[in-house]
Amino acid sequence: MDFDDQLRRYFGTDDLATIAPATLEAGIDRMRVDFGMERDKARRFALWTLMFMFGAAPDLDVAFADEDDRNAARDFMDLMDKAAP
Give start and end residues of each alpha helix (H) in the chain: 3-11, 21-37, 41-53, 60-63, 67-83
pLDDT confidence of residue 84: 82
Domain extent at residue 9: 3-83
For the whole model, what pTM was predicted?
A: 0.90
pLDDT confidence of residue 85: 80
- Domain count of the fold of the chain: 1
- To 10 degrees, the CA torsion angle through 21, 23, 24, 26? 120
State which residues of the chain have pLDDT below 70. Answer: 1
